[in-house]
Structure 1
Amino acid sequence: MSLEALILACDELLDLHASFKGKSASELKKSAFEAYRVELQALWLDVKKAYSEYISAAAADDVLIASLPEVKAKYGNSSDTYIEFLSDILEATRPQEVSLKPNNEKSDNVELKHYMHLPPCETEIFSGNFLKWPAFRDMFTALYIRHARLSPVQKLFHLRARTKDHALSIVSKFEITDDNFEVAWAALKEHYENKRVFVNNHLSILLGQVCITVESADALVKLL
């Protein structure tokens, strides 16, 4: 795989994004957004394939190794563009909230709801700490998985955004598609729902308590 072929694949992705950015959302139909998303996925697969083949070839070619910094920078830029592009599409196609009419009337085919202004609620970024998995799992389920208006591909996009380090390495193995959210989520659950780790941690806490040296209510509270 030549450097020129990899650069060409990356540039095609950048050009498609530029074309999309040059149009307003009102100019595009729903089918156009879907067409952009399909084309984006195809181009991103081409970029990943070209990059993978180049890295493999560079392992046995000193000339190709010399170009690795340029290749990695180009691939990183394309990866950022891919995430930004997909985010733009998801934001543009997100269903809009229905607001109340001034006279509080309901139309025949639209159910109107009252909404309260609540403080923003978000999950922490999960890095792979086994002990923090239950809290992350429950918060992500409440905020994203049970969100009636999020499609599976949107949920997978948010899952990538709310993970990092080892957890992200598990999620990022799956392309951002509707079919892959359930698979990626199942992979995280299989890896981090380790009851032995939880039991060992609780035992360590119980057995590692400092002995009370002074009889006092404060010491008892700390022990509890």
Structure 2
Amino acid sequence: MDKFIRLADAVTEFEADYNDTAQTDHTKYTLAIQQDELKAIWRKVKTAYEELVHSDRLDATGVATVKPKYKSSYAVYLRCMSNMAELHAKLVKNDNDVEDMSAREHNIQLPSCDTDVFKGDYLSWPTFRDMFTAIYIRNKRLTPVEKLFHLNQKTEGEAREIVSKCHLTNDGFQTAWKNLSDRYENKRILVNTQLKILFNLEAVENECGSSIKKLQRDINNCISSLQCHQIDISNWDAIITYLCSTKLPETTLALWEQTIENKTEISKWVDMNKFLSQRFQTLETVSDIRGSKNYPTTLPHNSNNHMESQQKRLKPFQASVPKAICTFCKSNEHKLSSCQEFFNLATADRISFLKNNNSCLNCLSSGHVVSRCKSSFNCRICHLRHHTLLHSQTVPPKATFPTSNSFSTDDIASSSAQAQARRDSTNTNNVQACFVNTSKGVLLGTARVNIFFKNNNFTVRALIDSGSEASFITESLKRKINLPSKRMRAQV
């Protein structure tokens, strides 16, 4: 009797604990665990009741006392299970709605993905192998004979001959794929090919950004390929840095040596790779400003061969200087800063055009971003780091914006020295800043806030800061109440 009463009371206590927990603290996973726990308790109650009723220990009065207790416990069990089931279904529905909304937002039509035709090249075999496996072999809707048909269509030359020897049947695909893999899955040849590229790099004769970038890219491609073939190159820094140093022009090599702090230690390829990135970006910037792509290295010469070098240089030649081309209208008569069509655009459209063409928002040149811009000119209206043509009209202008078609970059941009002189010439009031140094703390008040959103109640804790100019919400609370949001750039 006592055992049955304790188990029946456990069901009532379980429901009380469930009702005391806020709905926002429940998830579909915790509800599933709680449902299993309540079912286990009820099975024990039912077993104890049946043993008690069918035993000879109870008389008619005891049976009349036990049955109402059992019925009331069963009603509590049903009510609690029903509440948990409804909340579980609501949480599952909310998750499905979020997934459907995310799928609708990202439902874009992507171009078809397919592999190139394999012509029997060892270097292209790894790419063909992985692409054909992902697109055709792992496609469960294709039968083996269909896979063999596509394999015939995607091979040429010697590879096509190997595949065509197998009959176009379901059993023929595995044989054809195995024969093709055995023929071209030659790790030794693949590694040797990458080593041949690494040890036969083309030397860079001139201080040219594109040539240095190509040298860096070839070395990194070889390193990536060797790592894909499980070749341990963690101790190859001395070899790689030496090979790269022998291919660099004299000025770049001297600059690299100047960046080495400890001349007695072996240089790391990570450091040299970072230096090469900065070097070719600098050369590209200089080339864009000067309008020249290649700068020949100036080699030192002594007095003995000075006359000989002069005689060799005194030869007729013709220089071709490229004209500045407007990136917006493709005209070679003016620059982008003097383009009337570009000036007629709205400020937001100008910024969008420059970002899409990988152009600098400060000097309007292509090939770098504003964080790497070497120009000392800023906006002559607000003196911030952007071009005057990109100045937002929401800020009160400090100077008249040019309306003529004959303005240039020099007329629009202003140097930092000019900006400082202009600021010095304006009348300003002296402002004295003071602060108090105290060890006393400040206690801010909080409040419990009930949020009602999409038929759901959420109880959260709010911090009351009367001096704040904006309101904020935590990322976890935003996800919990499924609040719609959008990304934006703002200064806090």
Band of TM-score, shorter chain: 0.3 to 0.5
Higher helix share: 1
More strand by share: 2
TM-score normalized by the length of structure 2: 0.22
TM-score by length of 1: 0.46
- By relative contact order (CA 8 Å, sep 6+), the higher-ranking structure is 1
**Higher gyration radius (CA):** 2
